[in-house]
Amino acid sequence: MNIIFVKIEERMESKVRVRFAPSPTGGLHLGGVRTVLFNYLFAKHHGGEFVLRIEDTDQTRFVAGAEQYIQDTLAWCGLIPNESPLHGGPFAPYRQSERKAIYKEYADQLIKNGQAYYAFDTAADLEAKRAEIANFQYSKAYRMEMKNSIALPTEEVEKLLQTNTPYVVRIKIPDQAEVTFEDMIRGEVSFDASTVDDKVLLKADGMPTYHLAVVVDDHLMKITHAFRGEEWLPSAPVHILLWQYLFGLDKMPKWAHLPLILKPDGHGKLSKRDGERLGFPVFAMDWTDPNTKETTIGFKEKGFLPEAFVNLLAMLGWNDGTDKEIFSIEELIANFSLERVHKGGAKFDYEKAKWFNAEWMKKTDNNKLAELVQPYFDKAGIEVHEASYLVKVIGLVKERCVLLPDFITQSSFFFQAPSVIDIASIQPKWEEKKQDFFIELVKIYANKIVEGLKTMPAETLETDFKELATAHSLKPGDLMLPFRIMLVGGKFGPGVFDIVENIELQDAMTRINHTLGLLSSN
RNA sequence: GGCCGGUUCGUCUAUCGGCUAGGACAGCCCCCUUUCACGGGGCAAAGACGGGUUCGAUUCCCGUACCGGCUACCA
């Protein structure tokens, strides 16, 4: 028996190099970004390099704009690759479609060494065979019944090749081979390679499949540690065999198969559909399919801060062993270790995700928040005359905002009078005494304005308000809610006197009068 | 079906053989707040099951169950 055993040596003498290798087929979802993140954290923790490689070998699934989207997403998250298709690097090109010729050479070498072979079966041939034989596998058991350079006489193979018959190149899995390797997260994993079929390495269009491309490029790009989702575990033996055939197992990167991110309800891998169904983003940023024009919302546009997004992703499958949950990217880099990455998948919890964002909002500087919030104000058509005023308002309302757009609902009344007044919450307990009180309050404010005051400190406003209430033999408490609703339109917002202080006396008067008008006309 | 992986409160998780199984999110209650939040305090809530190993297992081993992944000329 041919035993392949790969051990992790604790050597780290060569510079750590990792890669993220997505296919440009659409938006980048949570699981993808987390794979990037763990790659990045591992590389930076060890002072290594992070490479972005685009695996665009499937021309039928290629989607225009997806590559740009991936780069933009990494930029938003702050996970900038050292080498990429856009910025190049010493191992360019970084797009597999541009490396087509390279893979052919290696496929030829495998064929020459008897480790791979030509297969001429058409799609129909394969379909028929699969229909005929339950659990059909293109391997030892049925290889000889198929149209390939192992089963066919040499002359016929020659003839097929000379007449340009379409073919694929398949790896020849050894009849008996136990493949064992050390996964950095899972420990020793072993497979009986004969249960794997002869995977296609080179497709009929001359493009490599993932199996060949990942091995060749990881070698050529000197990748030392390869991270990928757990869904790749079953094909690991193919890759290990290829490493053995092509470059030697001593050169092979160490593998780490990351746990999956699961649906919040039910079971299975989290998908784009789950987000739509349950009402939360799954992609990092908005993604518009160029064909259907359909847009899928992203965490960025939903109003998440990149710091929070990265933080929450890191905690999905990793922790530092303490109760600490809020980590900056620098702290993550400093503390990250693969030993603390989980083996089991984690269900995504949107409520917890929002909590991370709320925490990061509180930590973020008001000036920074103002910058981020400005576009939402623009979109809502709310004019911000002074940036400094926005910064001040943000300080007043930030702890009641979870997502960036919450600033609109929580603070629009600082910039314009509310368009809707929740009269229904005032009316039941409304009485003439209260009306008189507010008429008097307006007069007081008018006098202050005549005295040359535009506004007054919240504390003074509050004292005056309470004194006036007492004078009208009313409890201040019974007046606060109506006052709040007059100012903001409903039962929300920061302290009423903080609001009055900021919107200034003139505006407050206008709003009181407006509501008084509504109340008397009803 | 076959192969591989996984399994601690509803969810994310701590525990690296030693018993009040800790924290966070969500839920509920109270305080603060004459709005809503934030904040503070509290309640409720977990080791899939069965065997071993051991003085002692959530922790180590085996089996079972359940869940997941893969099983394409997709990645």
Residues A516 and A489 in one domain: yes
Spanning CA of A238 to C1' of B4, the rounded length in angstroms is 13
A129 located within any domain: no
A317 located within any domain: yes
Residues A451 and A480 in one domain: yes
pLDDT digit string, tens, across residues A432-473 = 999 999 999 999 999 999 999 999 999 999 999 999 999 999
Q: Work out how many domains chain A is built from and give that number.
A: 3
Q: What is the pLDDT of residue A265?
A: 85
Residues A403 and A427 in one domain: no
Residues A352 and A371 in one domain: no
d(CA A289, CA A229): 24
Catalytically active residues of A, by annotation: 272
Residues A266 and A347 in one domain: yes
Q: What is the pLDDT of residue A5?
A: 46
A392 located within any domain: yes
Is the distance between the Cβ of A260 and the closest atom of strand B smaller than 7 Å?
A: yes
Q: What is the pLDDT of residue A522?
A: 63
Q: What is the pLDDT of residue A7?
A: 46
A514 CB neighbour count, 10 Å cutoff? 14
CATH code, domain carrying A343: 1.10.1160.10
Residues A354 and A431 in one domain: no
A199, two tokens: 């995977």
A134 located within any domain: no
Residues A357 and A268 in one domain: yes
Is the distance between the Cβ of A507 and the closest atom of strand B smaller than 7 Å?
A: no
SS (H, E, C) A204-245: CCCCECHHHHHHHHHHHCCCCEEEEEHHHHHHHHHHHHHHHH
Phi, psi for A27 (deg, rounded to 5): -65, 155
Q: What is the pLDDT of residue A11?
A: 45
Burial call A184-218: b when 16+ CB within 10 Å, e when fewer:
bbbeebebebbebbbbbbbbeeebbbbbbbbbbbb
Residues A328 and A389 in one domain: no
Say if strands A17-20 and A49-52 run parallel, antiparallel, or are unpaired.
parallel
CATH code, domain carrying A479: 1.10.10.350
Spanning CA of A37 to C1' of B16, the rounded length in angstroms is 26
Q: What is the pLDDT of residue A216?
A: 98
Give the domain range for residue A400: 365-410
Nucleotide nearest to A345 (CA to C1'): B6
Write the CA distances from A139 to A105, A136, A153, A222, A375, integer angstroms.
24, 9, 18, 31, 58
A188 located within any domain: no
Spanning CA of A230 to C1' of B1, the rounded length in angstroms is 22
Q: How far apart are the first and last CA of chain A?
A: 92
The ipTM estimated for the assembled molecules is 0.95
Q: What is the pLDDT of residue A210?
A: 97
A289 located within any domain: yes
| DSSP code at position A139 | S
A504 located within any domain: yes
Spanning CA of A408 to C1' of B33, the rounded length in angstroms is 23
* Burial of A175 (C-beta count, 10 Å sphere; 0-12/13-18/19+): exposed
Residues A331 and A354 in one domain: yes
CA angle A98, A104, A106 (to 5 degrees): 115
Residues A346 and A383 in one domain: no
Q: Count of alpha carbons within 13 Å of A515, Cβ hemisphere only?
A: 32
Nucleotide nearest to A96 (CA to C1'): B75
Which residues are bridge partners to A211 per DSSP?
A: none
Which residues of A391-461 form beta strands (DSSP E)? none
A429 located within any domain: yes
Q: Which residues of chain A have pLDDT under 70?
A: 1-13, 266, 522
CATH code, domain carrying A370: 1.10.8.70
Structural contact between residues A354 and A402, judged by C-beta atoms closer than 8 angstroms: yes
Residues A344 and A395 in one domain: no
Residues A266 and A318 in one domain: yes
Which residues are bridge partners to A296 per DSSP?
A: A287
